[in-house]
Structure 1
Amino acid sequence: MRNRVVITGLGVAAPNAVGIPSFLDAIKAGRSGITFLPELAELKFSCQIGGIPPVTDSIKQQYFTELQLRQLTSSGVIYGVIAGLEAWQNAGLPVASDKPDWTSGIVFGTGLLGIDKLRESIYKVDAGQVRRLGSTVVVQTMASGVSAYLGGIIGTGNQLTANSSACATGTEALLLAYERIANGHAKRMLAGSCSDHGPYIWGGFDAMRVMPYQFNDSPERASRPLSATASGFVPGSGAGALVVESLETALARNAPIYAEILGGHLNSGGQRGGGSMTAPNAVAVKRCIQKAMEDAAIKPDDIDVIDGHLTATIKDAAEVTAWCDALGRKGADFPYINSLKSMVGHCLSAAGSIECVAAVLELNEGFIYPSINCEDLHSDILSLIASHKIPQQLIKKKINIIAKANFGFGDVNACVILKKFQS
C-alpha cells in the first residue's frame, strides 16, 4: 500500500515577490513582476522586458554569509537556495547536526545554471588564468549545484539529485519526490527548481522570435496567456520549492499541511504525431492528463481548477483543447483555468515549481488567482469554454482539487493532482 503524501513547506523567489507572504499577496492582487530591462535594449534584443525576482541585499543576508555572497554570482543558485531554505523553515524542520538525516532528501532541478559564471570561466581559461577561477565555479555551474548546496546546509542523507526537463522541470521534481515517499524510500523530500536570468539564458529565445516586442514600453501588459493579442512568452526567472512528506511523519510532528498530492503522470510525445522539439504531441498531452487522473483515482468532474502551462503563444488554444478532450468537459461545465505566467512571465525551468507553489496556496487559502491581460480572450478558446471560467479578478472560493500541468521543450509533459487536505 502506498503512503499518503502531503506538502508541509513552501518557498518562492518569483518575479513579482520573494517569500511566501509577499507572493500570496501578489498573486491575489494580480500583480505583475515584468519590467523593462535596459541591458536587453543595449544588446539589441527585440524583447527588452523580463521577470527578475526582487531579491534585496537584506533578503540575501538572511540565507548567506558575507563570504558566500562574495563567491556567488549565479542568480539561479541564489534563487534556489532562498526558496529551498524558506520551504524547509516554513515546514518547521531543523537542519541535521553531526550526522546526515537519512530519511530526508532533495530533488531540485534546473535548465542552464550559472551561465554568467561559466562565461567568466571560459575567458579566464582562454587567457591562461585557470588558477584565478576560484573554488565555487563547479557548484555554480553543474546541474546539481543547488541540490548539493542545499544538501550541505540541511544535512540530508537520502537521495540528493537534480532533474532537467525544460518547462516541466519543477512539476516533474515534485512528482519524483512524491513517488519516493509514496513508495517508502524517504520520509520527506525537498522538491523544487530554479532558473537563472539574463541575456545569455534568454538570447536563444529572442533569436527564435518567440518573445513579444510590442510591449517594451508597457511591460506589465506583455504576458498575455489566453489573449487574442498574445504574441509570445515573456522570459522570467526565479525558484520555487516544496517540502513533500509522508502523512504519517507530518502528523507525528504536528506539521502544517498545505495540501495532499493524490498522484500524477510524466510522459513524452516522442516528437511524433505533430509533436516536435517546440510543439507538444496533442495525444501525449491528453494521455498525460488522463493518466494523472487515473493515478490519483479521481474523475474529470472532480477537478475544480486547472493551473495551466499557458505560455501566451499560439499553443494556448491547443492546450485548452487538450484539456477539453482529456476531461470531456466544455463550455460552462469546464473547470476554472488560470495562468500564473500572466504575472511572472515564463520562468523556464523554474516555471513548474513556482506555479505549483501558487496552486498549493490557492487550495490552502481558498481562492483562484486572476489571469491578467486577457481582457480580449482568444476566439478559439471562447469557442471551447465559457468566458467566466477564465477569472480576470480574484475569486474567493473553496477548492477541493487542482490539476497542475506543464508541457516542456522537447515534447515532455508533467501533470500533478493536488487536493485540499482532509484527515
Structure 2
Amino acid sequence: MKKRVVVTGIGIVAPNGIGKEAFRAALENGTSGIKFDKQLEDLNFSCKVSGRPDLSLDYIKTFFTDYELRNFSATGILYGVIAGMQAWKDAGLDIASKEEPDWNSGTIFGCSTSGIEKFRECIYKIDDLQTRSLGSTVVAQTMNSGVSAYLAGKLGLGNQVTSNSSACTTGTESMLSAFERVQSGKALRMLAGSTSDSGPYIWAGFDAIKVCTFRHNDTPEMASRPMSETASGFVPSSGAGAYVLEELESALARNATIYAEVLGGNVNSGGQRGTGTMTAPNSQAVQKCITDALSDAGIQANDIDVINGHLTATAKDATEIENWSKALGRNAADFPYINALKGMVGHCLSGAGSVELVSAIMEIHHDFIFPSINCPDLHPEILKLITLDRVPQKALYQPVNVIIKASFGFGDVNACVILKKYKND
C-alpha cells in the first residue's frame, strides 16, 4: 500500500534570505537578492550582477567546526549542509546517536558540480608539485556526492544517502526521488534538496554562451526579469533549498508541523529530438511531463491554483507559458496564477528547483502568492495566452490549495511535482 507523504521541515539559503522567516519576508515583499558583483566586473564578464547568499562566519560556525572549515571552499556543500540541517531542525528531528545510524532516515541531495574553487586550487598546487599540501578534505569537497555525505555524517543517516545531478531540474527531481522512497515504505523520512556553487568558475560558461543578462548592470535589483519584454537573459546565482519528506502516519504521531502534502509528479526527457537540444526543451516532452504529473497525482488541470514556473528571463519564457497553456488546457483569464522566483534570486542553477520548491511550500502553508517582480511589461507572446492579472505584481493573500512546480534543464530534461495543502480528512 502506498504511503501518503508530507513535508515536515524546510530549510533555505537564498540570495534574498537565510532561514525560513527571512525568506518568507523577502517573498512577501518582493525583495531582490541581486547585487553588483565586482569580481565579475574585474574578470570582464558581460553580466556584472549576481545572487550570492549572505552568510556570516559566525553563522557558518553554528553548522561546521573550525577543523571542518580549514581549507574549506566548497560553497555548494556549505549552502546545502546549512539548508539541510535547518530543515532537519525545523522538522523537530533528533540527530542519531554516535553508536548507531538512523536506519529509517536518508537523504537525496543534489548538485551539478562541487568544489570548483577547490578544484582550481588543486590544479595550481599539483602543477607546482605541492600534491601533499592539498589537505585531507579535498576529495570530500570535490566529489559530486559530497553534500549528501556531509549531511549523512552530521545527522547520522542510515537509509539511502546519495546525490542526484540533472542540471536545473536537480532539486525538483530530488523531491520526487525522495517522495517515491517514502511512498513505497523503503524509508520513514528523507531529507531532499539541492545546491549550487557560487562564483565565476561556475558562471563563466553561461556568460560565454550569452544567456546571462547584460543590460541591467547598473540596476542590479531590476536585472532579473522573467516573462518581461525587456528581459535580456538570466542572472547567475546560487543557493540551496531543503525539505524533509515523511510518512503521514509518522508526522501525525510526532505532532509535527505539516507544511504540505506531496501528491506526485513526473520526470522525463525530450531526448534532444524535435525542438529539443542540449540547451532547449522539447515542447512535446515538457507538455507530457506536466500531464503525466497530473495523472500521477490524481488531480485535474482545473484544480491547479498556482504555477511556480521555471521561467529564466530568456527567450524561452514565452515557450514555457505556451507549454503550460497547452498541457493544462487553460488560457487567458482561466490560466492559473503563475509566478517566477528568479526575478528575486536569479538562476540558482542546480539549486534552483529546491529554492523554488521551498517558496512554493511556503505559499501553500501561509496562503499567499508571492509577486513576480520586474515584469510589469509582459512579453507580447505571453500576453497572447494569459492576462496580466495572472502574474501578481504584489503579494496576494488568499487560500492556496494546489501548486504545480516544474523545472526544465540543460540536456532536455524535465521534472514536475504537485503539492497540496494537507487536510486531516
Shorter-chain TM-score: which interval? over 0.9
Task: Report the equivalent of 2:117.
Answer: 116
Q: 1:72 deviation in Å?
A: 1.6
Q: 1:296-375, aligned counterparts within 5 Å?
A: 296-375=297-376
**What TM-score results when the alignment is normalised by the length of structure 1?**
0.99
Q: 1:72-87, aligned counterparts within 5 Å?
A: 72-87=72-87
Task: Report the equivalent of 2:231.
Answer: 230
Q: Secondary structure at 2:12's aligned position in 1?
A: strand
Q: Distance in 2 between matches of 1:120 and 1:70?
A: 14
| Deviation readout 1:252-308 (Å, 9 max, x if unpaired) | 111110000000000000000110001000000000000000000000000000000
| Deviation readout 1:139-164 (Å, 9 max, x if unpaired) | 11111001000000100100000000
Task: Report the equivalent of 2:38.
Answer: 38
Task: Report the equivalent of 1:260.
Answer: 261
Q: 1:55-134, aligned counterparts within 5 Å?
A: 55-97=55-97, 98-134=99-135
**What TM-score results when the alignment is normalised by the length of structure 2?**
0.99
Q: Distance in 1 between matches of 2:399 and 2:23?
A: 20
| Deviation readout 1:113-158 (Å, 9 max, x if unpaired) | 1000011011111211111000111111111001000000100100
Q: Which amino acid counterpart does residue 146 of structure 2 have in structure 1?
A: G
Q: Which amino acid counterpart does residue 224 of structure 2 have in structure 1?
A: S
| 1:153 and 2:154 are equivalent in the alignment | yes
| Deviation readout 1:305-364 (Å, 9 max, x if unpaired) | 000000000000000000000000001000000000000000000000000000000000
Q: Distance in 2 between matches of 1:316 and 1:361?
A: 24
Q: Distance in 1 between matches of 2:201 and 2:113?
A: 10
Q: 1:413 deviation in Å?
A: 0.2
Task: Report the equivalent of 2:29.
Answer: 29
Q: Distance in 1 between matches of 2:91 and 2:72?
A: 26
Q: Distance in 1 between matches of 2:373 and 2:49?
A: 17
| Deviation readout 1:46-74 (Å, 9 max, x if unpaired) | 00110000111221122112222223211
Q: Distance in 2 between matches of 1:14 and 1:396?
A: 23
Q: Distance in 2 between matches of 1:109 and 1:59?
A: 23
Task: Report the equivalent of 2:175.
Answer: 174
Q: Which amino acid counterpart does residue 312 of structure 1 have in structure 2?
A: A
Q: Distance in 1 between matches of 2:209 and 2:362?
A: 34
Q: Distance in 2 between matches of 1:181 and 1:77?
A: 24
Q: Distance in 1 between matches of 2:312 and 2:85?
A: 28
Q: Secondary structure at 1:206's aligned position in 2?
A: helix
| Deviation readout 1:366-401 (Å, 9 max, x if unpaired) | 000000000111111011011100001000011100
| Structure 1: gaps spanning 5 or more residues | none
Q: Which amino acid counterpart does residue 166 of structure 2 have in structure 1?
A: S
My pick for the range that moved more, 168-177 or 117-126, is 117-126
Q: Distance in 1 between matches of 2:150 and 2:61?
A: 16
Q: Which amino acid counterpart does residue 415 of structure 1 have in structure 2?
A: C
Q: Secondary structure at 1:276's aligned position in 2?
A: coil
Task: Report the equivalent of 1:12.
Answer: 12
Counting matched residue pairs gives: 423
Task: Report the equivalent of 1:294.
Answer: 295
Task: Report the equivalent of 2:247.
Answer: 246
Q: 1:45 deviation in Å?
A: 0.4
Q: Which amino acid counterpart does residue 394 of structure 2 have in structure 1?
A: Q
RMSD: 0.6
Q: Which amino acid counterpart does residue 367 of structure 1 have in structure 2?
A: F
Q: Distance in 2 between matches of 1:45 and 1:315?
A: 23
Runs of 4+ in 1 over 4 A off after TM superposition: none
Task: Report the equivalent of 2:140.
Answer: 139
Q: Distance in 2 between matches of 1:253 and 1:382?
A: 47
Q: 1:196 deviation in Å?
A: 0.6
Q: 1:417 deviation in Å?
A: 0.2
Q: 1:91 deviation in Å?
A: 0.2
Q: Which amino acid counterpart does residue 39 of structure 1 have in structure 2?
A: Q
| Deviation readout 1:233-269 (Å, 9 max, x if unpaired) | 1001010000000101111111110000000000000
Q: Distance in 1 between matches of 2:372 and 2:67?
A: 41
Q: Distance in 1 between matches of 2:387 and 2:216?
A: 28
Task: Report the equivalent of 1:411.
Answer: 412
Q: Which amino acid counterpart does residue 6 of structure 2 have in structure 1?
A: V
| Deviation readout 1:74-132 (Å, 9 max, x if unpaired) | 11111011000000000000010020111100000001110000110111112111110
Task: Report the equivalent of 1:185.
Answer: 186
Q: Identity, % of aligned pairs?
A: 60
